[in-house]
Amino acid sequence: MKFFLDTANIEEIKRINALGLVDGVTTNPSLINKEGRDFEEVIKEISATIAGPVSAEVTAYDYGAMVEQARSLAKWADNVVVKVPMTENGLRAIHTLTAEGIKTNCTLIFSVSQGLMAMKAGATYISPFMGRIDDMGEDGARLISQLRDIIDIYGYDSEIIAASIRHINHLEKAALAGAHIATIPGNLFEKLWTHPLTTAGIDAFIKDWDSFESRNLR
């Protein structure tokens, strides 16, 4: 399973990338706005920092404007993936961009039919939103499992990015449901490798070692 970091913070990306845990990065206008920096500057810096895919989202919703903007984004770096919303115009744009060799990430997917349409249009990645689906009283992990079944049955090339991951349980369910990728907020990453019993065990080892060294120095 691949991990994409869901952030636009360069220092956060560098820190977690140094652990060997980052396979790519997803961003959106809201995340970049939080950094208070130029959109193009941030995407280019992230793309130079990470070898894997970097999703940059279009801000237009008209077909022609989406395609024009996507072509421009794709020129910023070889590893840029254009994030396109799940709409009729979005599907048309994905179909056009795929034919031109531009990789796409179809975002805001909430149903099996939407995911299937994105696969059929040629999306490189499809992003079902686990957290928001759970908010509606439905099962985000079940949707991921169903989408994975469709990919496996029909041989679509699209990869599933489990998005809107808010806690460890989401990540674990996404992995078990067969998501190819999980896109994870930076503030959640640290929680993935920590556990109270691990911390307590380390503290006990340190205490025992300090006691051992103290006795040997007498």
Half-sphere exposure of 209 (CA within 13 A, CB side): 6
H helix intervals, 21-105: 29-35, 39-49, 63-74, 88-99
Q: Reply yes or no on whether 34 is catalytic.
A: no
Strands (E), the chain: 2-6, 24-26, 54-57, 80-85, 104-109, 125-128, 159-162, 181-185
CB distance 56 to 82 below 8 Å = yes
The residue from 14, 44, 83, 120 that is catalytic is 83
CB 106 within 8 A of CB 125: yes
DSSP assignment letter at 163: B
CB burial of residue 204 (10 Å; 0-12, 13-18, 19+): exposed
Closest CA to 98 of 158, 184, 19: 158
Determine whether 57 is exposed, middle or buried from the number of CB atoms within 10 Å of its CB (0-12, 13-18, 19+).
buried
Q: Catalytic amino acids? A: 83
